[in-house]
Structure 1
Amino acid sequence: MSEAPMRRHPARKLKGRVAGLFRAPPDDFVTSAVETLDLGFDGVAADVHGGATRRTGGREPWYPRGTEIRNERQLSLLSPDELAEAAEALAIPEIRPEWIGGNLLVEGIPRLTWLPPRTLLFFEGGVTLKIDGDNGPCRLSGRGIARHHPGREDLELGFVKAAKHRRGLVAWVEKPGRIARGEGLEARLPEQWIYG
C-alpha cells in the first residue's frame, strides 16, 4: 500500500486588531468589558480561567475529573464575524463576547477559529500569546446566551451546533505584559501539515 504524498503549507503572517477586552471575576464565567488586560504567566490575575494549572473536566476524558494539569486555556479569543455567523444560525440578533466568557475580541483575521495550534500572536505593546487550539462550544456558553433570550430553551444546546468551528480559540501567555483595546497584533502561523 503506497502512502499519499505529504503536503506542507509554509509559515505566514496575518494582521489583526483588538476590538474588545474582557475579564471575569474569580467565581463567574461571564466577563465584563475593560480597556486593558494585564497578563502574567498565569494569565489574567484573579480571572476564573487564570492560573498556571487547572482542573480537568469533560474536555479531557482520558483523566479523572478534577485532575490538575497545565492551563493552556488561560484566555478565550473570539471573532466578531464568527459570533455574527453563530447568532444568525440561532436566529438571534447577536452574541456578545461577555455572555460566553470571552477575553479578547479579535478583528481582521478571517476564520479566526481555524488558526492552527502553535500560532503566536504578537501584540504591539509587547505581549505574546500562544494558541493552543480551537475552543469547542459548550452548554455553559449556550446557557449564557439563553439568559438574554427568555423563552428560547433551545439556545443552550443549539449553541453547541451553531458555534462549531467558529467558537474561537484558547491561548496561554508566552510573554506577559499589558494589552490595550484597539492595539494591533500580528499572527505568525507555523508551517503546517496533516499527518496521515
Structure 2
Amino acid sequence: MQEANLELFPTAESAVDIVPGRKLTARAAALYAAPHDHFETRAVEELHLGFDGIAGDFHGGTTRRSGGREPWYPRGTEMRNERQLSLVAADELAIVAQRMGLAEVRPEWIGANLVVEGVPHLSMLPAGSLMFFKGGVTLKVDGQNKPCRFAGQSIAEHVGAADISATALLFPKEAKRLRGLVAWVEKPGTITVGEEISVRVPEQWIYR
C-alpha cells in the first residue's frame, strides 16, 4: 500500500474555506399536506411523520421515481426519496412574488409542507442541516428545492394570469435560490403548528 504524503494535508486544509457550524432557533409557522393525487397542499394543524414522510402525501414514500432533476438516471428510475418534505420561508416567497409582479405566492400553491420562521435566508441552509422539533421530530435537509415550471403553472392558474405559459416559465427564473429546501425524516413523530425548532447548521467548506 502506498503511503500518504502527510505534508500535503496542512497545505490542502489552508486552501479550503472552512466555516464553523452553528445553532439557530426557528418556528413552524404553518403546516401543509397534499392529497396523494396532487402536489398542491392544504393547511393542517399537525403533520404525522414516519420514515416514509407524511402518510398518504403526494411526496410520501421511502423511494421515488427519478425525473428531470436526475438526468444521470433514465426517467422513472426508482431511487431513495430525499424529497419527502418541502420547506419554505414567507419572506423569500414575498420576494419571489414581487419579482414576478404578483401580490403573493402562497406556500400551498407550490406544494410546501412547512413554513419555517426565524431562519435568515432559509434557502441557503446547507445540505446536512438538522432540524430538531420540540416534540421530537428530526428533519434532515437534503438541499435546495429547484423551482420548476409545474409549480409556476400552479401559481399562474391561481392568480389568473393572462399568459399562463409565460408566468409559469417566469417562476423558475425569479425563484432561483428562494424556493426553499427539501428534507427527509430522520426521526419520526408529529409536528404541530407553532412548534419550536432548533436548527443545527453543520461545519461547511468549499471543496475546490
**Per the shorter chain, which TM-score range?**
over 0.9
Aligned partners of 1:136, 1:115: CA distance in 2, in Å?
Answer: 14
1:149 to partner: Cα distance = 2.0
Read off the aligned partner of 1:112 and give its amino acid letter: L
Read off the aligned partner of 1:71 and give its amino acid letter: N
Aligned partners of 1:25, 1:169: CA distance in 2, in Å?
Answer: 20
* More deviation, 119-128/147-156: 147-156
The structure having more radius of gyration, on CA atoms, is 2
| Cα-to-partner distance string for 1:24-56 (whole Å, 9 max, x where unaligned) | 011001100000000000000010100000000
Q: State the superposition RMSD in angstroms.
A: 1.1
Aligned partners of 1:7, 1:83: CA distance in 2, in Å?
Answer: 30
Aligned partners of 1:131, 1:47: CA distance in 2, in Å?
Answer: 18
Match of 2:5 in 1: none
Match of 1:192 in 2: 204
Structure 1 gaps, min length 5? none
1:6 to partner: Cα distance = 1.2
Matched residues, number? 195
Q: Hey, which bits of structure 1, 4+ residues long, moved more than 3 A? A: none
Read off the aligned partner of 1:59 and give its amino acid letter: R
1:119 to partner: Cα distance = 0.2
Which of these residues, 13, 17, 28, is aligned with residue 7 of structure 1?
17
Match of 1:125 in 2: 135
Match of 1:174 in 2: 186
Which of these residues, 85, 93, 110, is aligned with residue 103 of structure 2?
93
Aligned partners of 1:162, 1:15: CA distance in 2, in Å?
Answer: 28
Match of 1:160 in 2: 172
Aligned partners of 1:144, 1:159: CA distance in 2, in Å?
Answer: 10
Match of 1:139 in 2: 149
More helix by share: 2
Q: Does 1:116 align with 2:155?
A: no
**Identity percentage of aligned residues:** 59
1:97 to partner: Cα distance = 0.5
SS in 2 for 1:15: strand
Aligned partners of 2:54, 2:106: CA distance in 1, in Å?
Answer: 20
1:146 to partner: Cα distance = 0.5
- TM (norm. structure 2) is 0.92
Match of 1:58 in 2: 68
Structure 2 gaps, min length 5? 1-10
